[in-house]
Every structure is written in C-alpha cells, then in structure tokens.
Amino acid sequence: MSCRVAANQQAQATLTARLTCSVMHQVNVALKLSEDEWGRRSLSADLVFEQPVKVLMCAWLGSEWWWAKSPKWRTHYNWAAQYHHLRDGSRQVIVTCGALLQDCVIPAGFDPEAPGQAEVEFLKPSALYQKESHGLGLIVVPQGAARSLRNVSGG
C-alpha cells in the first residue's frame, strides 16, 4: 500500500512540475507588418515552442469574439493576420495559425500601423495586437497540460 501511495505522490509531483514549467513558459514574439499593392495590411510572426502545443486564436471587437483552434500538436506555427478590404469599406480580418479564423468583420480604422512586440505565456490569454476595442490574441496549450486539464475532476 505504501509503495502505491509513494508512486502516486511521485506521479503527482512530476505532473505539478510539468504544469509549473508550462505555466511559467513565455515566448517573445516579433510582429512584422506588411502592405500589399492594394493597401491591405498584414501582421505576421513565427511562433516556435520547445514542446508540441495547440493554439486557440481569437479576434474581438468590443464584446464580440471569434475563435479558432489548431487541430494538430506542433512546435512551430506561422501566425498571420490580414485586414482584407471589403466593398462596403469594412475589413474582414483573416487570421491563420494552424487553423483559419475568417468570420471576423469589423469597421475600417483598426488596421495595424506598425510592427510590434508581444509576449505569449502558456495557458493564459495573450494579446498579440490591440487597437482600441479591437484585438487579436491566442492561448497556447502545451500537450502535457492539455492531458492534465482533461483529467482534473471536480470534487
């Protein structure tokens, strides 16, 4: 019985250490700005992680939110957001990062104007770009933490 308790305690300590490492992990992101011949602006960044992750990306305008989740565990993602001009003057924000977020339509005036820097932290919402009430962000979920979160039971 005591061997079993010790094994459970060791497994729990390993899990706690793994989660602590994941929670404390931060990645600095350099956002590049580009503009095409039609004046559409885009932000892009390479996201590189030490362990496989899934990315939940989001866009928001005020209290309206759009979400998409990458389907595969990967260590490298190309994140990009294009502000596509629509005929009525509004913008369709198209975000890719292992998945496609394309239902976000916002008024003109929120397009990015300069490259930037952002800090991405595991298991926490991280804003990559924000201008007034509009923003783009993501949540990075490491593979080990996802398994642990699924196994947590309420009590």
The CA distance from 142 to 31, in Å, is 22
- What average pLDDT score do residues 1-24 get? 42
- What average pLDDT score do residues 53-67 get? 97
Residue 146: its pLDDT value, please? 62
Percent of the chain with pLDDT over 70: 78
Question: Does residue 131 register a pLDDT over 70?
Answer: yes
Residue 26: its pLDDT value, please? 86
Instruction: Give the start-end residues of each E strand in 3-111.
Output: 26-35, 41-61, 64-69, 74-85, 91-96, 100-106
The CA distance from 37 to 104, in Å, is 23
The pTM (predicted TM-score) of the whole model is 0.78
Question: Does residue 122 register a pLDDT over 70?
Answer: yes
Residue 151: its pLDDT value, please? 55
pLDDT, mean over the chain: 85
